[in-house]
Structure 1
Amino acid sequence: MKKSTKIFLTILLILIIGIFIHPKKVVYVPKITGKVIDENGNAIKDAVVSRIEELRSVNEKYGYFDYTKYESQTTETDENGNFQLSEKSRTEWIHNPLSLPIAWCFGNFEIEKDGYETYETKFDEFRQFRKNNCYACEEIEFKPIITLKNK
């Protein structure tokens, strides 16, 4: 095979792959609707519930990734102790029409209320594999009942 034919086929292959595989900003909605109660089972009103996410940045000096936690959404519980976190989050996801249905969806949050210990989710406490016919985490919902302990 001639060198020019090999170069042409290589460029054509790269173009075909580029059509199907590309990084894309994906909006996912791991919705969290929960309830906060005390150790006696009573609803806790006005507890502050915050979605916790990681912000990834590149350390320019040393060339590694820094991860910083931040609160991307905050709400308060109602008189029945109920809350909902449904703000959309953005993530980089390699997606193509032929990709495997692989995506893990996480729900990380913390709850604060005066007189109670702060509750923060543990790593992988709320995790679910992507559902069929669901793009990223768009139909995932966590429904925790959280018990806050007195200080």
Structure 2
Amino acid sequence: MFFLILLIGIFIHPQKVIFEANIEGKVIDENNMPVFNATVYRIEKEYFINEKIGSNESRDLRTESVKTDKNGNFKFYEKSRIDWFHTPLDLPIGYCYAEFEIEKSGHEFYKTKFGKFEQYRIENCYACEKVLFKPIITLKSQNITENRIKK
């Protein structure tokens, strides 16, 4: 029994795992001008069990927010969590992605489409550690959209 506990202790242990990448983005308008003071939200998945039907489900959560600066820039820093069942037998593969939403009065709401910002693990990193996404997002003015609809 002692040997079994020792063996489990060697292979199953808490280890810090990076799971949300860095995002350094820029928000511009249709004229390539920076959008100041837009709110950018990091979107993460929350996994839960639907007790009514007994299935595993997920939903999007806004977990962090930042404002764009006068140059339209924003940044989310790498986030990590503790994975209590990490083992050395896990594959050294990390699938990294970035999901976010942007809101600014007078502009259309922006949400990333699934798979728009993604990459696999890079050399010499664990999971999504050191992964950086640098999106440039163009927010459309609501006035331009409303004019197109009227035509």
Q: What is the identity, as a one-letter code, of the residue corresponding to 2:101?
A: E
TM-score (ref. length: structure 2): 0.80
Tell me the residue number matched to 1:95: 86
Q: Which residue of 2 aligns with 1:48?
A: 39
Indicate the percent of aligned positions where both proteins have the same amino acid. 53
d(CA) in 2 for partners of 1:106, 1:93? 22
Read off the aligned partner of 2:103 and give its amino acid letter. E
The Cα shift of 1:140 comes to: 0.4
Give unmatched runs, 5+ long, in structure 1: 1-7
Contiguous gaps of at least 5 residues in structure 2: 143-151
- 1:137 — aligned with what? 128
Partner-residue secondary structure (3-state), 2:10: helix
Report the number of matched residues.
142
Larger radius of gyration: 1
1:36-115 matched pairs, under 5 angstroms = 36-86=27-77, 88-90=79-81, 92=83, 95-115=86-106
CA-to-partner distance for each residue in 1:46-78, whole Å, 9 max, x for gaps?
000000111111123322123121111100000
- Please say if residues 29 and 139 of structure 1, whose CA atoms lie closer than 8 Å, have aligned partners that are also in contact: no
Relative distance call for 1:89 and 1:50 in structure 2 (3 A) is farther
Aligned-pair CA distance for 1:146: 0.5
Q: Distance in 2 between matches of 1:108 and 1:40?
A: 24
Under a length normalisation based on structure 1, what TM-score does the superposition of the two structures give?
Answer: 0.80
Q: 1:89 to 1:118 in 2, by over 3 A?
A: farther
* More off after superposition, 52-61 vs 34-43: 52-61
Partner of 1:19: helix, strand, or coil?
A: helix
Separation (CA, whole Å) in 1 of partners of 2:13 and 2:95: 19
How far did residue 28 of structure 1 move? 3.0
